[in-house]
Amino acid sequence: MIKNSLTINEEQLLVAKEILELGGVVALPTETVYGLAANAFNEEAISKVFETKNRPSNNPLIVHIGKYNMLSKLAKNIPIEAIMLVDEFWPGPLTLVLERKEIVSDLITGGKDTVAVRMPNHPLTLSLLNQLEFPVVAPSANRSNHISPTEASHVIQSLGDKAPYVLDGGACAHGIESTIVGFKNGQPIVLRAGAISREQIEEVLDKEVLQINDNSELIAPGMLKKHYSPNTPLSIVGNIFDYVHVRSHNKRVGFIFFKKNNHQLEEYDRILTDNGSLNEAARNLFKTLYELDALGLDQIYIESIPNEGIGVAINDRLLRAATSA
Ligand code: TXA
Ligand code: MG
């Protein structure tokens, strides 16, 4: 049984490797969300990623590496704090924005003088990266501004005809994107909330770290307001029970509750976590949105999430996904 599944993985890896070596695009699993990968040293391949996602060319990409020594090929003047974070969190859901080296294409950086790099922590993808002679760019494998995919089927649901070969690595362990840390005047700064909380970063660096929320000048373009959106209108509400009456108006309405409660769940209702675990809620968030979005409802209401730990990243995504609050 185990031998069999290993063989399937090995075959899939071989296909993915060949496509990437030929300059093609492959969707692959990471511990955060599925990525849309292409050879980071091949500009034609990189262009295909933008095309497949319909992504604006000024929104830069994260370079994914499998070996530590690749970092110094891509980036220079790496601050000591960055090394401390690498030591603690790689492979894992931390992206570093660092001074780029010449080898990094303008297509990747959107013409900026920085490059974003991370080492993902998924056994299949790590194994693939370590078999390749080059790193890969990999934005989330959804069409631009749509919900990030946390399962192989989501990639197909989001990209439709444009979906490439998907390396199926199962459901993503974190279910929310990596935390992006950059440096301004030598000071670390969280540019995107993600699977690693600011508190975890502060603990490793033993100092306070700034977090940017909507500073449009410094901000990563992927932090633009409208993002991560389902096709169905989505509203975040404080008390979801205030909205239950909307159902009586003959509308097909879905409710997403943070945790289990006494409410009798109806057909379009979902809960993110049984016991109030923020990690479980993060894992289920995009999956739940994909599920309800596929039903073509008139409206989805979601309860706001406790704003601590990974809950900060969840609320950040919800605010960008919502049409009105
Ligand atoms: O967890 C993740 O990071 C996933 C998986 C696939 O690894 N990837 C991901 O990529 O979320 P994407 O493209 O959906 O989001 C990347 C973010 C964007 O907001 C982009 O603007 C920002 O990273 N970014 C990339 N390079 C940057 C740079 N040089 N400076 C600032 N922000 C950058
Ligand atoms: Mg994305």
pLDDT digits (tens, 9 = 90+) for 145-187: 999 999 999 999 999 999 999 999 999 999 999 999 999 988 9
Amino acid at 181: V
Query: How far from 179 is each of 42, 112, 239, 267, CA to CA, in Å?
Result: 26, 19, 29, 34
Q: Element (H or E) spanning 270, and its range?
A: strand 269-273
Q: Which residue has the higher pLDDT, 239 or 6?
A: 239
Which ligand 1 atom minimizes the distance to the CA of 180? 23
The tens digit of pLDDT for each residue in 192-234 reads 999 999 999 999 999 999 998 654 444 455 445 567 789 999 9
Amino acid at 161: D
Q: What is the pLDDT of residue 250?
A: 74
pLDDT averaged over the chain?
92
Test site for ligand 1: of 99, 107, 180, most ligand atoms within 8 A of the Cβ: 180
The tens digit of pLDDT for each residue in 104-124 reads 999 999 999 999 999 999 999
Q: What mean pLDDT is predicted for residues 130-137? A: 98
- Determine whether the shortest distance from the Cβ of 20 to ligand 1 is under 6 A: no
- Determine whether the shortest distance from the Cβ of 85 to ligand 1 is under 6 A: no
Confidence of residue 323 (pLDDT cuts 50, 70, 90): confident
Residue 153 CA to residue 193 CA, distance in Å, equals 25
Q: What mean pLDDT is predicted for residues 119-134? A: 97
* Span of 46-50, 206-210, 247-251, 317-321 with lowest mean pLDDT: 247-251
**For residue 133, how far is its CA from the centre of ligand 2 (angstroms)?**
25
**For residue 146, how far is its CA from the centre of ligand 2 (angstroms)?**
8
Residue 229 CA to residue 106 CA, distance in Å, equals 28
Q: Which residue has the higher pLDDT, 275 or 324?
A: 275
Whole-prediction pTM: 0.94
Per-residue DSSP letter, 235: E
Q: What is the pLDDT of residue 216?
A: 43
Confidence of residue 243 (pLDDT cuts 50, 70, 90): confident
**For residue 116, how far is its CA from the centre of ligand 1 (angstroms)?**
7
Which residues face 184 on adjacent strands? 187
Q: What is the pLDDT of residue 215?
A: 42
Q: Which residue has the higher pLDDT, 130 or 4?
A: 130
Say if residues 204 and 85 touch (Cβ distance below 8 Å).
yes
Test site for ligand 1: of 30, 52, 61, 147, most ligand atoms within 8 A of the Cβ: 61
Q: Which residue's C-alpha comes closest to atom 10 of ligand 1? A: 139
**For residue 246, how far is its CA from the centre of ligand 1 (angstroms)?**
37
**For residue 237, how far is its CA from the centre of ligand 1 (angstroms)?**
28
Q: What is the pLDDT of residue 186?
A: 84
Q: Is the pLDDT of residue 3 over 60?
A: no
SS3 content of the chain, % helix, strand, coil (to 5): 35, 20, 40
Nearest partner of 28 among 225, 216, 170, judged by Cα? 170
The tens digit of pLDDT for each residue in 81-112 reads 999 999 999 999 999 999 999 999 999 999 99
Which ligand 1 atom minimizes the distance to the CA of 55? 13
Say if residues 40 and 63 touch (Cβ distance below 8 Å).
yes
- Determine whether the shortest distance from the Cβ of 97 to ligand 1 is under 6 A: yes
Residue 241 CA to residue 122 CA, distance in Å, equals 39
Q: Which residue's C-alpha comes closest to atom 32 of ligand 1? A: 220
Q: Which ligand is nearest to the CA of 97?
A: 1
Q: Is the pLDDT of residue 283 over 70?
A: yes
- Determine whether the shortest distance from the Cβ of 115 to ligand 1 is under 6 A: yes
Q: Which ligand is nearest to the CA of 146?
A: 2
Tokens 């690749």 map to which residue?
A: 70
Q: Looking at the chain, how many residues does it have?
A: 325
